Amino acid sequence: MDLKVEPRTVQVQTANKLRDAILSGYFKPGQRLVESELCERMEVSRTSMREALRGLEAEKLITIIPNRGPSVAEITWEEAKAIYDVRAILEGEAAALFSQCATTEQRRVMTQALAAFAEAAEANDAMGRLTSTGRFYEVMLQGCGNSIISELLQGLVARINFLRARSMSNPGRDKYSSTEMRRILKAIEKKDADGARAAAVEHVRAACAAAEAVFEPRRAA
């Protein structure tokens, strides 16, 4: 058995840890990320750290400024609103398409994702909420039959998760989110394309409103 850890594996693990720390709010928007300190805390080489940071820069989760180094990216409300608008269009269409071709197994996985979301909400597990929500949408996007929709949203996935984390920081938002996603799944189970589209758009609009409430204090500052 070959137990050797390849350098690329270390880079991926480093990127995953940093991504989780950003999405969970451990590292705040605008916060500088000191490379030497991160290497020491995570016990990885400068090479692995730099590769991980470049990957997160490509995902637009961090910004690397010459002579200043990396910092956690800040998303303006205008950018956030634009992302929600795109999500409403694409996810609404994906839900409508998926409702016509979803398999029993796919619906079962989505049901499991919702159960996992409820457990995470009960435990106030921020990463668990993000992971289960991501799984719910992953099944729908991969199964909707339109690869372009999936590709376009995949390019936004890191920032979508960043905004999800912020919107779900509102007290009680996770319970509303759970109800909204269940409406999407119920419409899919009924093969109701119009209902699935409407439920998906409603969910995105509600998440947008929740996120705006979090952005508002900074906008007024």
pLDDT tens, 91-116? 999 999 999 999 999 999 999 999 99
Q: Burial level of 48, CB count in 10 A (0-12/13-18/19+)?
A: buried
Residue 221 is predicted with a pLDDT of 43
CB 149 within 8 A of CB 141: yes
For the chain, percent of residues with pLDDT exceeding 70? 94
pLDDT tens, 41-90? 999 999 999 999 999 998 888 999 888 889 998 888 999 999 999 999 99
What is the DSSP pairing of strand 69-72 with strand 62-65?
Answer: antiparallel
Residue 7 has pLDDT above 80, yes or no: no
Residue 1 has pLDDT above 60, yes or no: no
Residue 154 is predicted with a pLDDT of 83
- Domains (ranges, CATH) in the chain? 7-72 (1.10.10.10), 77-220 (1.20.120.530)
Write down the mean pLDDT value for the chain: 89
pLDDT tens, 147-203? 999 999 988 888 888 888 878 877 788 899 999 999 999 999 999 999 999 999 999
For residue 39, what is the enclosing H or E element?
Answer: helix 35-42
Residue 2 is predicted with a pLDDT of 52
CB atoms within 10 A of CB 97: 20
What span, in angstroms and rounded, lies between the C-alpha atoms of 61 and 159? 7
